[in-house]
Amino acid sequence: MQTIADPREVGPARPSGVIPISVIIAARNEAKNLPRCLNSLNGMGEVYVIDSQSSDETVEVARAAGAKVVQFHYHGGWPKKRQWALDTLPLAYEWVLLLDADEALTPELQVELQRAMENGDCNGYAISLQMHFLGRELRHSGAKFQKLSFFRRNKGRYECRLKEQDVSMCDMEVHEHVVVEGKTGTLKAPLPHHNVESLSRYIQKHNEYSNWEARVWAAGDASYRDLPPALFGTQAQRRRWLRKKLLALPGSPFLFFLYKYLPRFGFLDGVPGLIYCAMQGIQFFHIKAKIYESKHSAELTQCAE
């Protein structure tokens, strides 16, 4: 079981701001991305950076900006990083905003967050990502998607798609989604997301993601308890439905690439669009290959017995 860091390690408290929101940023070796993210959070009530023993200057950068730093030590299982933070941190505000270190709020989105809280009509809101990849905003390529990352902390939780997990599958939620009790809405202002610092880092992270994905898909319907695939459901449910259908088809990694590059007009995003769509197809291939590896290992084990 993970434990919260000694309070003396948390760092200086951020002055109370005009926007009563608790921001939680998951980070590991994000010293290059954090300044842009933290600079966009002026006026937020409190900012936590949940670090995973970074080897770069992530902690120093976060503390210099006035964020509270907490170390997360993952030993496998559930909860993972963000749900652990929601369960453990002494959050001061009712509303929580979850961010990645490579994301940054715009003034327009800050205004919309305030209006959403004042409205009080919903318990959570999805935010559309404005994807930047290799220095270019992707306007096509199937890269525009939403994530429910702004919600009342006592009304939202992450779905648990797989309890038996280990450190090879990343220490934070990969494609689990926040499930909110009650009514939800969607904000109009996008959230800029700078998806890749380097292709080497991108490939490393997505190798861990494909380990997780292979285990989840192998688990079948048991991993869909909270958010089942549905063609006419939410965006997240539609994406799951599409991936599930594609996964069963021969040659699906190439078909997935073609789907993103042609019908989703990835070719209009230039070379970054081509690389992004190709990487998506390659990750799909990795998932299928790891599912095959798992089945093959299980068959060898049965034969040996």
Per-residue pLDDT tens over the stretch 74-110: 999 999 999 999 999 999 999 999 999 999 999 999 9
7-304 CATH choice from 3.30.420, 3.90.550, 3.40.50, 2.40.50: 3.90.550
pLDDT tops 80 at residue 38:
yes
pLDDT digits (tens, 9 = 90+) for 151-207: 999 999 999 999 889 999 999 998 899 999 999 999 999 999 998 768 998 999 899
Spell out the domain ranges in the chain: 7-304
Q: Coil, helix or strand for 140? A: coil
Q: What is the pLDDT of residue 234?
A: 87
Give the predicted TM-score (pTM) of the model: 0.89
Mention every residue, 6+ apart, whose C-beta is less than 8 A from residue 192. Answer: 103, 104, 106, 130, 132
Return d(Cα 35, Cα 142) in angstroms, integer.
Answer: 28
pLDDT tens sequence across 221-256: 778 888 899 999 888 899 899 888 888 899 999 999
User: How far apart, in Å, are the Cα atoms of 151 and each of 42, 96, 147?
Assistant: 19, 6, 11
Given a cut of 80, whether residue 10 has pLDDT beyond it is no
Whether residue 234 contacts residue 128, with contact meaning beta carbons closer than 8 Å, is answered with no
Range 246-273 average pLDDT:
95
Q: Which residue in 105, 190, 115 sits closest to 147, CA to CA?
A: 190
The identity of residue 301, as a single letter, is: T
Identify whether the C-beta of residue 4 lies closer than 8 Å to the C-beta of residue 89.
yes
What span, in angstroms and rounded, lies between the C-alpha atoms of 90 and 152? 14
Residue type at 160? Answer: C
Tell me what pLDDT residue 236 has.
Answer: 87
97 pairs with which residues across the strands? Answer: 23, 150
